């Protein structure tokens, strides 16, 4: 995989996470100026941060507004948000039986 493609894939993932963050923190979205290009600067990935910073500087050089969003860290992926799951086995022979997880 080329370096550019790798950076693009990382940015897609980071952009998705940032969109989720905005849904949970709408007050942040209100602070982003209309018409500004958003450039994400992940502090936890120096290579991607530098790649995105170069893109941001090019956009600025073209005379466009840029807002840089610094991101300190990214939590590990979570496969499920379920909590408090329990199993109950039911049979005629033994009745209901709570199973430990």
Span 7-41, pLDDT tens digits: 999 999 999 999 999 998 999 888 999 999 999 99
Q: Where are the domains of the chain?
A: 3-76
- 39: exposed, middle or buried (C-beta count within 10 Å: 0-12, 13-18, 19+)? buried
H-run or E-run covering 66: strand 66-71
Three-state DSSP at 31 gives coil
Residue 92: phi, psi to the nearest 5? -65, -35
Termini Cα distance of the chain:
41
pLDDT bracket for residue 96 (50, 70, 90): low
pLDDT bracket for residue 80 (50, 70, 90): confident
Query: What's the confidence (pLDDT) of residue 98?
Result: 59
Query: What's the confidence (pLDDT) of residue 1?
Result: 75
Comparing 11 with 90, which gets the higher pLDDT?
Answer: 11
Can you tell me the distance from the alpha carbon of 43 to that of 27, in angstroms, rounded to the nearest whole number?
Answer: 22
**10, 29 contact by CB (below 8 A):** no
- Mean pLDDT calculated for residue range 47-76: 95
């Amino acid at each position: 995989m080329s370096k550019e493609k790798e950076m693009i894939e990382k940015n897609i993932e980071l952009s998705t996470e940032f969109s989720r963050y905005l849904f949970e923190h709408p007050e942040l979205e209100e602070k982003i100026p209309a018409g500004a290009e958003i450039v994400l600067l992940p502090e936890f990935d120096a290579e991607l941060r530098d790649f995105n910073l170069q893109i941001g500087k090019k956009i600025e050089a073209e005379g466009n507004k840029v807002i840089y969003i610094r991101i300190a860290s990214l939590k590990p992926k979570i496969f499920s948000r379920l909590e408090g799951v329990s199993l109950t086995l039911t049979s005629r022979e033994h009745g209901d039986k709570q199973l430990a997880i």
